[in-house]
Amino acid sequence: GVSVTNYPVEPKSDRGEAGWGYLEDENTLVVSAEYDSAMSHVVMIARALLDPKTFDQVLTEDRLAELDGLIEDGTYVRGSRNLGWLADSVDSAGEYVDVLEDARDELLDMTRSLAHEDYECETSEYLSRITKTAMGLAGTAFHVLDLLDIDVVWEARLPDYNRHPERYGEDNAELLATTLAKNAPIAATYGNHVVRRLLFEDRDE
């Protein structure tokens, strides 16, 4: 579900820093990031979901071992759960984690290239590539966590919404609403189905 809370949160000193926490008693991972743009927000969320702390404290080796059978024959989870970066050569959940960590690092390299204007395509195309990669990584992480019955809370923080309402004019508010509507299905699960595909993918009647 989606909840909206009116609470006076303080801006982070480093707005590029994502929040991360694990509620062990509730088996719930909490990831958080301030919202400046659709791209930057989903990049920070993907980075938080695949943070080293996630693999140290949440997706531990013992837990991941439960997925070895599904990962070794990845046809089913690729099709039903739409798990990305799961090549036929990946034989265990541990190997899959290595692949996802490499993909996370490549995503962060892309953002550094963006900051230094070190890319060969149009800026809009490069922004789109980064956003799609981040959304794919976030969606994959959500499904891996769900396969192990781990709940996730995804928080978008807007500390300046009341302090500086001029930053959130009609256009920006509409963009924010659209972004949240697109992001919600990424984090949603419906059994072994991908909600985003069920809602938005074209198919024959």
d(CA 78, CA 184): 20
**Out of 62-76, 117-131, 167-181, least confident range:** 167-181
pLDDT for the residue numbered 194: 56
Residues in the chain: 205
pLDDT for the residue numbered 54: 98
- Checking if the pLDDT of 201 tops 90, the result is no
- Give the residue extent of every domain in the chain: 38-187
CA dist list (Å): 26 to 4, 54, 58, 123, 149 = 21, 15, 12, 42, 11
d(CA 170, CA 143): 34
- Checking if the pLDDT of 12 tops 70, the result is yes
Confidence of residue 29 (pLDDT cuts 50, 70, 90): very high
Q: Does residue 10 sit in helix, strand or coil?
A: coil
pLDDT for the residue numbered 155: 93
Backbone φ and ψ of 16, nearest 5°: -85, 5
User: Average pLDDT in the 44-58 region?
Assistant: 97
